[in-house]
Amino acid sequence: MGADRREGGRGRTVGLVALLGCGVVLLSACGSMPVTGDIKAVDASQPGDSQVQVYAVAPRDNATPDEVVDGFLESMTSDDPGFRTTRKYLTKEASRTWKPSAFTTVLSKAPNRSDRPVRDGDRSSTELTYTLTGEKVATVDAQSAYRPVAPTDFNRTLHLVRQNGSKEWRIDFVPDGLLLGQSDFKRLYRSVNKYYFASGPSAGRSMLVADPVYVRNRTDPITGMDTVTQTVRSLVEGPTNWLRPVVDSRFPTGTVLRKGVTALAPDDRNVLKVPLTKKADGAGQRSCRMMASQVLYTVRDLTSARVEQVELQRSDGSTLCVLGADQAEEFAPDSSSGGPDSQYFVDDKGHVQRIPGSTRGSGDPEPVAGPLGNGPVQMSTVGVARDEQLAAAVSQNSAVLYVSSVSSVDAQGQLPAPTVISKAKKPEDRLSAPSWDGRGDLWVADRNPDDPRLLRLAGGTGKPLDVAVPGLGGARIEALRLSADGVRIALLLTEGGHTTLKIGRIERRDPDTKQDVSVVALRQAAPQLADVTAMSWSGRSRLVVVGKEQGGVQQVRYVQADGSAPASGVLPGANQVSSVAAADDEQLPLMADTEDDGVVMLSPGDNWQTVLKEGSSLVYPG
């Protein structure tokens, strides 16, 4: 009564059953079944409830080589403590040396195995080689960092031997790491954000930066740790290699969780106690509070009971420091609590207008103070600093960038002198829409084919300085958006007739003089989309993008900053979206410019609604 699992014509058949009464799935190469409860045939690689627990079943006596390979592949998708059952498909030596935690390879579907193994010459009766194939879409390294890749052919071999003195086949050569189909990966792992402090000055305060990683949904088979403990351990060990050059951790080097800690949970007062090793014993109160804030923001969405307080403990169990949720606001990774919730746009007369936020007015559009709101020059795009004191607008012909105050107190009537001028011949080759980072700096791209530049203006009013982008190659920057933390930039890059989304790391080598800023380590953020036409940051490590898959129709969806795509990332469709705007606070509505319906709004749990029939370039501050 097992379910046949056939992919790519390999004829692979594995018996899978689910005991629904206790939420358990058993996997076996011989079709073992429970003897009680309601029975339902399932496929372990089908999308399903992430809380369904899956267990591996050891190989049966005299299992065929096909069954050994299939059972091994299936058991990697299970909740198998220490992968003890999985290792029963291996020889003793292979079991001893195999390192499943080294990395994870993610395929678009479960791996295909060759129907006919290669027989090893004169040893064909005792040795066989199987080929595993598929389409590789991502890897997860030993730091739990996810990295998507353009779909590429995957090929790997498994070598089997007949055990001496028996008829049992076992795998004696297996590469390190796990091999999972995409649906199994999404069932077994979840994306979580660790938090570290941005290096150098950050808008006058210490700002936390999200560092996304993937951890097991439940207990990790290798460490025996639950999800919260896995996440805290990863946090304490330090940032991922990609983010490390631009962030700092306040945990002293060498600090780890105290030995034997496998389950962290808030107590009945919603206090999370975190036992640390001796390396942290001497931390001062300021450093300890910053460490605790890293923990608080990292775990606050991982537990059913919201963590209201973090207590860090010394190696002897005494209290190092205590930090409450209200005290942690000092280090908030964004301005989502009490931050800007107004929107800005360019009306049909080329003037910049503001829609007051839900807590600041009626919601009716009003011209901004100063020359951008009522001046003689018509604008096409606008970007507003996160403190809403300054705005940058590009002229209607996309040739000139102006920066002016939009504060009613400081705004002057006369338009300031141009800040940046593009000399490109065509409007589409001139200036991009501007964007502000969380440090108060202004960024814009000049798309001039004869002199393409990425420019940064310190404080929005400094001299435009070229920013090096060494990984750009022959691609052109079409659009850009800066993250609230100021250490990441999202770029739409056009090359070879396609526009793709990449995330770059912003390195400031001399923060004191604000010189020598570069964007490095560009990485794909939406490899599943052949063309991306618009994007915006939406929260701490997520973006909303508009694009198309190869040969597909336009879609609006969320992607993580590490390039992974949430299972529920596709949003309701809107007609012909040309731009999109999201806020640092993920609870604020998503806004979009459309060709047919004007500016539309999508609130959580609602459908798109028209906000403005006329107007364009609607943005949140940033």
Give me the mean pLDDT over the 220-226 stretch.
93
Give me the mean pLDDT over the 262-273 stretch.
95
pLDDT number for residue 53: 73
| Amino acid identity for residue 271 in this structure | V
Measured distance CA(139)–CA(141) in Å, rounded:
6
Q: Is the pLDDT of residue 255 over 90?
A: yes
pLDDT band at 350 (very low <50, low <70, confident <90, very high): very high
Alpha carbon 6 to its chain's center: 32
Give me the mean pLDDT over the 423-447 stretch.
96
Give me the mean pLDDT over the 142-146 stretch.
96
Q: Is the pLDDT of residue 413 over 70?
A: yes
Please tell me the least confidently modeled range out of 23-37, 95-109, 215-229: 23-37
Q: pLDDT tens digits, residue range 529-549?
A: 999 999 999 988 999 999 998
pLDDT number for residue 332: 82
Q: What is the pTM of this model?
A: 0.88
* C-alpha atoms less than 13 angstroms from C-alpha of 42 in its C-beta half-sphere: 25
Cβ burial 591-612 (10 Å sphere, 16+ → b, else e):
bbbbeebbbbbbeeeeebeebb
Q: Is the pLDDT of residue 139 over 90?
A: yes
Q: pLDDT tens digits, residue range 579-603?
A: 999 998 888 899 999 988 889 999 8
Q: What is the mean pLDDT of the chain?
A: 87
pLDDT band at 339 (very low <50, low <70, confident <90, very high): low
Higher confidence at residue 16 or residue 490?
Answer: 490
Neighbours of 99 (CB within 10 A): 12
> Under a CB-based contact definition with an 8 Å cutoff, are residues 572 and 594 in contact?
no
pLDDT number for residue 334: 64
pLDDT number for residue 70: 97
Q: Is the pLDDT of residue 23 over 50?
A: no
Q: Is the pLDDT of residue 618 over 50?
A: yes
Please tell me the least confidently modeled range out of 19-28, 471-480, 592-601: 19-28
Tell me which residue has tokens 């250490």: 487
Residue 402, judged by CB atoms within 10 A of its CB (0-12, 13-18, 19+), counts as buried
Measured distance CA(583)–CA(620) in Å, rounded:
6
**Beta-ladder partners of 247:** 198
pLDDT number for residue 410: 67
Measured distance CA(121)–CA(135) in Å, rounded:
30
Q: Is the pLDDT of residue 343 over 70?
A: yes
Q: Is the pLDDT of residue 437 over 70?
A: yes
Measured distance CA(229)–CA(243) in Å, rounded:
22
Measured distance CA(209)–CA(193) in Å, rounded:
9
Measured distance CA(55)–CA(62) in Å, rounded:
21
Q: Is the pLDDT of residue 30 over 70?
A: no
> Under a CB-based contact definition with an 8 Å cutoff, are residues 455 and 441 in contact?
no
Measured distance CA(213)–CA(313) in Å, rounded:
25
pLDDT number for residue 385: 95
pLDDT band at 50 (very low <50, low <70, confident <90, very high): low
Ramachandran bin of 21, using left for φ above 0, alpha for ψ from -120 to 50, beta for the remaining angles = alpha
Please tell me the least confidently modeled range out of 147-156, 505-514, 569-578: 505-514
Give me the mean pLDDT over the 225-237 stretch.
97
pLDDT number for residue 364: 86
pLDDT number for residue 17: 39
Give me the mean pLDDT over the 217-237 stretch.
95
pLDDT number for residue 586: 85
Q: Calculate the alpha carbon distances from 376 to 347, 398, 433, 612 in Å.
A: 14, 16, 20, 23
The percent of residues above 90 in pLDDT, for the chain, comes to: 68
Q: pLDDT tens digits, residue range 356-393?
A: 875 443 478 999 999 999 999 999 999 999 999 999 99
| Domain annotation for the chain: domains and CATH numbers | 15-188 (no CATH), 219-331 (no CATH), 343-619 (2.120.10.30)
